Structure 1
Amino acid sequence: MSFKHDLILLIRPYYLFNIFISLSYIIAKRLPILCFFIFGEVECELDGRETEILFFLLIVIMIRTRKAGSVTMINYLSSSFIYTKIANMILWFYADVRLGLVFVVIFVLTGLFLPEPTYSGPENVIYFRGPTGLDEELARDKRVTWLVAFYAVWNPACVNFAPVFSKLSNEYSLSNLKFGKVDVGRFPEAGKTYHVSDSSMSKQLPTLILFKDGKEVLRRPHADTKGKLQKFLFSDENIKAAFDLNNLFSECKGKVKNMKSIHPKKD
């Protein structure tokens, strides 16, 4: 289902055009008509320097997409676009400065007029504003269990994780089991309070923390006994397993039923 869904998303202009400009240099080099029109040659071959750049690009994409927590084909594409476009820009400048400038213009215009599509499906998430918004809510009603995501809008891993968290919130939310988000990029003080780094080199974004009775009981990613952060892949299945969401949902739902039986509605 996920693969089929990704194929449907690929027909959106953002993905189609970014795939094209990410492969633009190779296409221009390998298609005789374009090769002759752009480079004035009947047959174009990649030289040693161009091959090195493309090989280095492949390594960078593999490393960065893994660090970004990419779990679907769309995630991998979104995480790799910036690197493929930068590599193409270098290749075009290497071939001809004028061609490089044209590519830069296309690069900028693409970012301005074709922004990446964001998740627009249903969600049941509360966004905490200010550095103490979450603190105040946890103190206000300790009967509520909270699963809170700490994120930054500029972080690719957080962007990839957003639709997963939204879908889980829509599936598991109850009056006493709620889902929240804190933007540590906008409110770094909140990040410091809950020990989540908002650095551009941070390996803690996103971070999921489960709160019960107003206190933290579990987080992912977490540090081991030696203080080393353990890598966590933020897929739907991994989150359900790590936080035992099915049993947590049943437990919270049972508490709601008990409260209703103790305090039945009056006619």
Structure 2
Amino acid sequence: MAKKSNGGWYVERDQENSYDRVRWLNLMISEPYYLFHLLVFFTYIPVRISAFQILSPARNSFLLKREIQVFVAYCVLTVVKIVRTESWESFIQDILLFAKIFLTAIALVLDYHLSLWYALAFLVIHIIAQQPPYEGLGSSNHLTPLQLESLLTEGNTSRFWLVEFRAFSTSACVCTSSFFPELSITYSNANLSFGTVDLGLFPNAAEKFGIPLGSLNQLPVYILFENATEVARFPEFDSEPYVFGPTITKIQIFSSFNNDQLGNNSHYEPSNPSV
């Protein structure tokens, strides 16, 4: 985004930040994943009020100390995550996980039946609802496998295509869902185009592009095509599957495709360098 005169750039940036805050507030209310979590968290308020009336002063004092300790620990972890987070989706996922752990732990201090109830409630939410991914497209295109093949074989398209293969049924793809649109806005030009293929919708495309369906936990995968030929991919698939996929950042995605793979174009510049 180019800087504008008379402070116009800053006004536009403030408007974008305000839009993001409104969008997240709307998601908290409208998305079942967030709404169900908020409802479960707020049930602790009437539970705590009832416990205050029933428990002895010594027991209430002990519980209050544990609540303060849990709150301080949660705040510290939240600050750490704010500093280290790569996306809002990843940040929300982490702080919700911490909140669920701490709420279940403090409920255990009250009564183990209550703790089991919270654990069951969070398990049900995990089964029936899914964290929504980032909805922006940036300069990338949602492609079917046939559309991708057609674009790669046509001679009048971009020389390079950087394609993200993902499946939103995996948490890693949800947490990194904003990376590719942001990179596409910054680096898309006449020589390099961006596209995404959802393997959750088109699982048959996985084998065609050398992505084992049994390794979906290692998604997303980014493949760079030059004139319909694959020249690089990130990350490389391991022969041995593992539970937790590799940590992926925006810097890793684009830096993994070096200048040699992009054709040694010394004149190559991002189309939107200020983003």
Gaps of 5+ in 2: 1-16, 29-33, 64-69, 75-80, 269-275
Pairs within 5 Å for 1:32-43 = 33=49, 35-37=51-53, 40=55, 42=57, 43=59
Q: In the alignment, is the contact (CA less than 8 A) between 1:177 and 1:252 conserved in 2?
A: no
CA distance in 1, matches of 2:88, 2:168: 21
1:262 is matched with none
- Per-residue CA deviation, residues 133-153 of structure 1 (Å, 9 max, x unaligned), is 322221123752000000002
Q: Identity of paired residues, percent?
A: 25
Structure 1 position 35, deviation (Å): 2.8
- Per-residue CA deviation, residues 176-226 of structure 1 (Å, 9 max, x unaligned), is 311011111111111111122344x634210001111211111111147xx
Instruction: Return the TM-score normalized by structure 2.
Output: 0.57
2:12 is matched with none
Structure 1 position 9, deviation (Å): 5.3
1:211 is matched with 225
CA separation of 1:198 and 1:180: change in aligned 2, threshold 3 A: same
Instruction: Return the TM-score normalized by structure 1.
Output: 0.58
Counterpart check, 1:125 vs 2:140: yes
* AA in 2 matched with 1:240: F
CA separation of 1:252 and 1:171: change in aligned 2, threshold 3 A: farther
CA distance in 2, matches of 1:145, 1:159: 25
Counterpart secondary structure, 1:216? strand
CA distance in 2, matches of 1:245, 1:21: 50
Structure 1 position 159, deviation (Å): 1.1
1:183 is matched with 198
Q: In the alignment, is the contact (CA less than 8 A) between 2:221 and 2:233 conserved in 1?
A: yes
Q: In the alignment, is the contact (CA less than 8 A) between 1:222 and 1:229 conserved in 2?
A: no
Pairs within 5 Å for 1:24-35 = 33=49, 35=51
CA distance in 2, matches of 1:139, 1:191: 19
Q: In the alignment, is the contact (CA less than 8 A) between 2:163 and 2:195 conserved in 1?
A: yes
Aligned-CA RMSD value: 5.0
1:260 is matched with none
1:154 is matched with 169
CA distance in 1, matches of 2:237, 2:36: 40
The answer to which structure, 1 or 2, has the higher relative contact order (CA under 8 A, 6+ apart) is 2
CA distance in 1, matches of 2:97, 2:117: 16
Q: In the alignment, is the contact (CA less than 8 A) between 1:147 and 1:210 conserved in 2?
A: yes
* AA in 2 matched with 1:208: Y
Q: In the alignment, is the contact (CA less than 8 A) between 1:92 and 1:100 conserved in 2?
A: no
CA distance in 2, matches of 1:144, 1:171: 18
Q: In the alignment, is the contact (CA less than 8 A) between 1:148 and 1:180 conserved in 2?
A: yes
Counterpart secondary structure, 2:233? strand
- Per-residue CA deviation, residues 26-63 of structure 1 (Å, 9 max, x unaligned), is x889x6x45325x65542668xxxxxxx9xxx9xxxxx
Counterpart secondary structure, 1:132? helix
